[in-house]
């Protein structure tokens, strides 16, 4: 009986994902602060699975989770950065210009995507400030719009294509559903945009069966029917 119990415990333990997240930071304001590792298995409720203090620019999370999950590192209630808790030793770097995670194929895919996304968003920021300078130099809003709108539209299209491809490439792991949920959360209520329709149309059942995604899609479809009926 005892041998059987031990065997069951060992079997359960072997299914767990062990993580070791070693962090370094050159941001002095983080010293002495508590950091929290939070996961959201259902895409709605976040659970804190670990915490640690930053001491002399170093911090460390060590523990087990039941499966590979997308997580966020928080300082107090402020989200600092995402990462994937996978069965690998992860190295996190935080400084004044950005964050990065090394270790594990999913984290490599995530941060390759985020770097591309950040570059596009920086271009958008530059266009916005170009518009502000043009207005200060006496250009009319119509002139600014005519000059900059084509570039804004190209960047928006580029970003949408990047996001869509990232989700589709990761339908069958935690990255696809995780980023799709973030994409949906930017809207005040569930709606079916062309981008969301395209993602859902090509998605496999494993993706569509995610509790948050299935609920979002059903609600969004109902909302779109109501909007169409009102017109």
Domain that holds residue 157: 104-169
In a domain, 228, yes or no: yes
In a domain, 60, yes or no: yes
Residues 131 and 197 in one domain: no
Residues 34 and 52 in one domain: yes
Q: Count Cα atoms within 13 angstroms, Cβ side, for 13.
A: 7
In a domain, 84, yes or no: yes
Residues 94 and 116 in one domain: no
Residues 58 and 109 in one domain: no
In a domain, 7, yes or no: no
Residues 113 and 152 in one domain: yes
In a domain, 5, yes or no: no
Distances in whole angstroms, Cα of residue 115 to Cα of each of 109, 111, 112: 10, 6, 5
DSSP 139-163: --HHHHHHHHHHHHHHHHHHHHHHH
Domain boundary among 148, 169, 190: 169
Domain boundary among 83, 103, 123: 103
In a domain, 77, yes or no: yes
Cα–Cα distance, 139 to 150 (Å, whole number): 17
Residues in the chain where the model's pLDDT stays below 50: 1-14
Q: Which residue has the tokens 């170093």?
A: 58
| Antiparallel, parallel or unpaired: β 89-95 and 17-25 | parallel
Domain boundary among 59, 79, 103: 103
pLDDT digits (tens, 9 = 90+) for 36-84: 999 886 666 788 989 999 999 999 999 887 888 899 999 988 899 999 9
4-31 per-residue burial string, b: 16 or more CB within 10 A, e: under 16: eeeeeeeeeeeeeeebebbbebeeeebe
In a domain, 45, yes or no: yes
Whole-model pTM: value is 0.85
In a domain, 206, yes or no: yes
Contact 177, 210 (CB under 8 A): yes
Residues 203 and 155 in one domain: no
- pLDDT for the residue 11: 37
How many independent structural domains does the chain possess?
3
Residues 90 and 153 in one domain: no
Residues 51 and 41 in one domain: yes
């Amino acid at each position: 009986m005892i041998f059987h119990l031990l065997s069951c415990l060992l079997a359960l333990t072997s299914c767990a994902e062990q993580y070791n997240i070693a962090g370094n930071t050159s941001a002095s304001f983080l010293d002495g602060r508590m950091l929290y590792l939070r996961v959201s298995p259902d895409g709605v409720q976040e659970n804190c699975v670990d915490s640690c203090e930053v001491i002399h620019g170093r911090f460390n999370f060590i523990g087990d989770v039941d499966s590979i999950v997308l997580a966020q590192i928080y300082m107090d209630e402020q989200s600092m950065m995402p990462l994937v808790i996978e069965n690998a030793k992860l190295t996190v770097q935080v400084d004044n210009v950005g964050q990065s995670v090394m270790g594990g194929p999913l984290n490599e895919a995530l941060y390759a995507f985020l770097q591309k996304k950040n570059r596009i968003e920086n271009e958008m920021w530059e266009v916005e400030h170009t518009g502000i300078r043009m207005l200060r130099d006496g250009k009319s809003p119509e002139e600014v719009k005519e000059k900059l709108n084509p570039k804004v539209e190209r960047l928006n299209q580029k970003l949408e294509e990047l996001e869509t491809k990232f989700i589709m490439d990761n339908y069958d792991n935690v990255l696809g559903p995780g980023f799709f949920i973030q994409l949906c959360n930017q809207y005040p209520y569930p709606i079916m945009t062309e981008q969301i329709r395209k993602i859902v149309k090509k998605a496999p059942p494993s993706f569509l069966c995610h509790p948050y995604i299935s609920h979002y899609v059903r609600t969004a479809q109902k909302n779109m029917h109501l909007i169409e009926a009102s017109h």
